[in-house]
Amino acid sequence: MAPAPREELLTTAGSDDPMESSLEALVTQTLGTETALELSPLLPVLVRDLSDIDWRLNQVLASTFAQLTEAARYAVSMGGKRVRPLLMAAGFRSLGATSTRPIHSLAAAFQLIHTATLVHDDVIDHAETRRGRPSMPRAFGVPLAIVGGDYLFVRAFELAAEYPKSIILRCGEACADLVEGEVLQDASRYDLSSGREHYFRVVERKTAAIIGAALASVAEIAEVPAATVDALQTYGKAVGIAFQIRDDLLDVYGDPDLLGKPLYTDLREGNPTLLSFETYARLDPRRQAEFEELFQHRRKRTKHLLRLRELTDLAGADSIVARESMEWADRAIRALEPVPNGPYRLLLERLAHGAVERRF
């Protein structure tokens, strides 16, 4: 089936364009009001970049089977804050690019990879909702959700095929890291003895590797020195770790209305996070034993989850974890030293801090 013409997917840019308005709100929310005001001259450019990337992404979703097309577009519509495309656009422009056209397909590919992993995560976690809407498994059934996630991966590599072999290999390695991270995480379920090092091995593969690969690829396309490619990759990995630590914190202390999903998913599913490790380490022996026993329950009731939250509060682990998340954001910013000073480098710095200050 031929892709829909651009005019059907994206109306002419302007203040009356609902997609443009939606993306502007998305960028503002992601940056935060204060940063959005500080960098307001960049907003129209970023909105245009994201809309162009979205258009390229939607071009490859059409299938000869209408239900598969519908499922793929549904998944993409819940793709979230578009943090990865935003980072890639900002990273490319920070290296002197005046147009993001050369990376539209690549940014769309990485967004599809991210979306595919969310679909498969919802299958694994038996998630009922995502961002306030029925999850893919709930909306389309588990079989179509699994196939739909696979379809998004395939379309992602169709887009990546436009680029040099080195970039395709980097994408493939990042996807392999994602799978390894999922296996590592599953191996440590309900096990608080696996420790911090295991947690970071999981996060580096499941979250950090794909962002680092995306930004390294952008730098390679910009034809900058190897040191700058490495710097952008280091930045991306550190932002990914900061983002994930904050995500784990919001799972217990966030607002479910803002998050669009219920709280305590990691506690319910027995996924050890930095928050649970720090809580466990800081409790006295009696409460430590209670925390471990409750954490290991396979079928937790609401009272179990609330007690785990109480013990987390008693340990004061939230402030420890929040501080560590900020330390990773600071590492990301330090990695940007080889990147030229300018508004887009400043934007990358603000996005790193935004990753640990966000509420959704």
pLDDT (average), residues 65-83: 88
How many Cα atoms are found within 13 Å in the side-chain-facing hemisphere of 43? 23
Q: What is the mean pLDDT of the chain?
A: 90
At 35 the pLDDT is 82
* Residue whose C-alpha is closest to residue 295's, from 275, 268, 263: 268
Domain boundaries, the chain: 17-357
CB 359 within 8 A of CB 258: yes
Q: 95 or 21, which is more confident? A: 95
CATH T-level topology, domain 17-357: Farnesyl Diphosphate Synthase (1.10.600)
Whole-number CA gyration radius for the chain: 20
- 133: helix, strand or coil: strand
- 134: helix, strand or coil: strand
Residue 77: count of CB within 10 angstroms of its CB: 10
pLDDT (average), residues 42-53: 93
Question: For residue 253, which amino acid is it?
Answer: Y
What is the dihedral angle through the alpha carbons of 160, 164, 169, 170, rounded to the nearest 10 degrees? Answer: -80
pLDDT (average), residues 157-172: 96
At 12 the pLDDT is 31
Q: 239 or 77, which is more confident? A: 239
At 20 the pLDDT is 56
What does DSSP assign to residue 82?
A: -
Question: For the segment 286-308, what is each residue's pLDDT rounded down to a tens digit?
Answer: 999 999 999 999 999 999 999 99
